[in-house]
Chain A
Amino acid sequence: MSTHSLTKAALRAEGLPRRRAVNRLMELLAWLAAALAVAILGIVVWSVARRGAGALNLDLLTKTPVQFSLVPVKQGLANAFAGSLVIVALATAMALPVGILVAVYLMEFARPALRTAVSLTLDVLNGVPAIVIGIFVYGLLVLGHGQSGYAGSFALACIMLPLVARSTMEVLALVPSSLREASLALGVPRWRTTLSIVLPQTIGGIVTGTVLAVARVAGETAPLLFVSSLVGTQVSWDPHHALQTVPVAIFELAESPDPADHTRAWAAALVLLIFILFASLGARWLATRSARRMSTAR
């Protein structure tokens, strides 16, 4: 329906009852679509909660898995939780400073053309499928050397980097230029201005971006399958060796035919989900709060 005929029909109120009916139908469909989305989320979260809650006990966090036993034995996923903590923490330590520095360079030093070009590559990096990152890190760090927690962290850091950089760039753009100009006018050196005046304004946004990136990679499985999956059953905090992680543990347990394994998988999924939801919603709440503060400060 062209704009012209639309206007004509509207002005003449032609066929109003039919048009109203079509409108009603579309509104109904939109409501249904939204209800469906909410329902899907509810179903998935409810499935995980119902099956996982029953199996959620201290054993999950304190006992290690048992690879083969002639009799049923109490087991848990302590090695996976420890490994995930180590690998995600290391990944954040790798990605956060680099991401902030990239954003600082692009927003404070780079010419607009360079800024566009580099942020384009950051977007490309963001679009690389996680499994290809796994192949990349396998070829770079694992082949010939063995798997390690460091390789796992590096892979996750590659995924986190564009997220951290982009969110830091967005917050840096929000800092009013008057602030920078005032500081420079007072004789504060460029680097001091950036580090002590501009960056502190962006802490809230950086934290939000980092928390969201952590929530994203805490559940990332594909790259870790290649670089940190040949693991033992003991709890280890040493990233020089391959460490078990929660998402890889869930992946392996899901494939097993043993219902006891499935129960542990649900429980681990529940813990993972709680952590991720907690982090995402918390970050979002933080973001709205600091955005509100920013806008009132201007």
Chain B
Amino acid sequence: MKRTLALAAAVFATAAAAGTATAPAAHTGTSLVGAGSTFVAPLVAQWTPAVASAYGYELQYSPIGSGGGINAVTGRTVDFGASDAPLSPDQFTACKGCAQIPWALSATSVIYNLNGVKNLLHMDGPTLAKIFAGQISSWDDAAIKKLNPGVSLPSQKIAVVHRSDNSGTTFNFTDYLSSASPAWKSATGTGVAVNWPAGTGAKGSSGVAAAVGQTPGGIGYVDVAYAKANHLKFLAMKNRSGKFTTPGLRGILAAATSDQKPDGTNALSIVNPPKKYPLAYPISTYTYVIVPLQSSKAADLKKFLFWAVTKGQAFGPRLLFQPIPKSVLVVAEKTIKQIHS
């Protein structure tokens, strides 16, 4: 009987091993481990098989949020981090010799769930700030009605959903709200996590997308790739020149032209661009890869990052990532060259 048991166990183990072995075989090349922003995760997911076939690298990327990514690369538990929020001076110091490189460009969409109401409802920054501050609580409020003449809005309660984890998307969104509404700036401000005056928290972009999708009257913010994948309705935002724009490639590109010069730490701010960019979508953002300038995997990291900012950008448009402009590309490549072992 003992032999039967042992035999059964052996059969089970062999079956499990055989089953997993017939799965796509592991690449025996180098693996590059990264973690951070959920914003750039869809793009990195497209990069993974491409990089594997081009160089044999295995990309292991975990979307744990921008804050987690910065912390992970600071503790050198990963080879690279990814963050939509640029590093603060304190974070640069803590990271001890890290560089941030803009490697993708996209936007945050404001999704909503209102049955019977058309897609691309009009909205502007100050009104949006009031909604997320809990000061406007119904969809048929006068301020929203004024932006949407001729649209019949239901008297549905607005259910605000925000991110519960440390998120670069939150940083982008609150950065926009602070820029558009001085009241929001002084009361709540900008950050990867803030003290939300109203609403419930959900984890990850998928969490927010799901929460809004399941709550009538829900409103939330997610990177536009998630909105597209889940076929969610999103708002058309009024930019500084008075036009209502959407988070498409055109709107993102126009926003990017408003700041083409990365600053000393390679950070760029393209939120709420000034009047002379009429096509700009005001909640666009760059997202950065954070790398230690000195790494044992320097050669592989450089090859991967060069590929990402050049050939990798071609995978972007399908997911509403706009290829980064030439001027930014030049700066990015210069920084990548500085990585050494």
Contacts and interface: CB of A to CB of B under 8 A. Distances in A.
Interface of A: 58, 61-64, 66-70, 76, 78-79, 81-82, 85, 142-147, 229-238, 241-242, 255-258, 275, 282, 286
Contact of B33 (A70, A82, A146, A238): A146
A82 B77 contact: no
A230 B77 contact: yes
Contacts of A286: 2, 5
Contact of A70 (B19, B27, B78, B229): B229
Contact of B20 (A62, A70, A144, A146): A62
Interface of B: 2, 5, 12-13, 16-17, 19-27, 31, 33, 35, 41-42, 44-46, 48, 58-64, 72, 75-79, 202-203, 206-207, 209-211, 225, 228-229, 318-319
A286 B9 CA distance: 14
Contact of B23 (A66, A78, A143, A256): A78
Given A146-B76, A230-B35, 19 more contacts: A63-B23, A70-B228, A78-B19, A85-B13, A142-B75, A145-B76, A229-B62, A230-B62, A230-B77, A230-B78, A231-B60, A232-B59, A232-B60, A232-B61, A238-B26, A242-B60, A256-B206, A257-B207, A286-B2
Q: Find the residue from B19, B22, B44, B78 having the highest chain A CB count within 10 A.
A: B19
Contact of A67 (B17, B27, B41): B41
Given A230-B35, A241-B33, A236 B26 contact: yes
B228 to A, nearest CB: 7
8 contacts: A58-B19, A67-B61, A85-B16, A144-B75, A231-B62, A234-B24, A256-B206, A282-B5
B210 A257 contact: yes
Given A68-B229, A237-B26, A282-B5, A230 B64 contact: yes
B26 A257 contact: no
A76 B23 contact: yes
Contacts of B19: 58, 61-62, 78, 81
B257 to A, nearest CB: 28
B53 to A, nearest CB: 13
B24 A64 contact: yes
Contact of A143 (B31, B35, B41, B77): B77
Contact of A145 (B13, B21, B77): B77
A224 to B, nearest CB: 13
A81 B41 CA distance: 24
B33 A230 contact: yes
A144 B72 CA distance: 9
Contacts of A63: 23
A70 B77 contact: no
Contacts of A64: 23-24
Nearest to A235: B23
A238 B148 CA distance: 58
Contacts of A144: 75-77
A226 to B, nearest CB: 10
A142 B75 CA distance: 9
A263 B286 CA distance: 35
Nearest to B64: A230
Contacts of B211: 257
Given A230-B33, A232-B59, A242-B60, A258 B26 contact: no
Contacts of B72: 230
B27 to A, nearest CB: 7
B23 A62 contact: yes
A230 B62 CA distance: 5
B27 A234 contact: yes
Nearest to B228: A70
A132 B44 CA distance: 33
Given A81-B19, A230-B72, A235 B60 contact: no
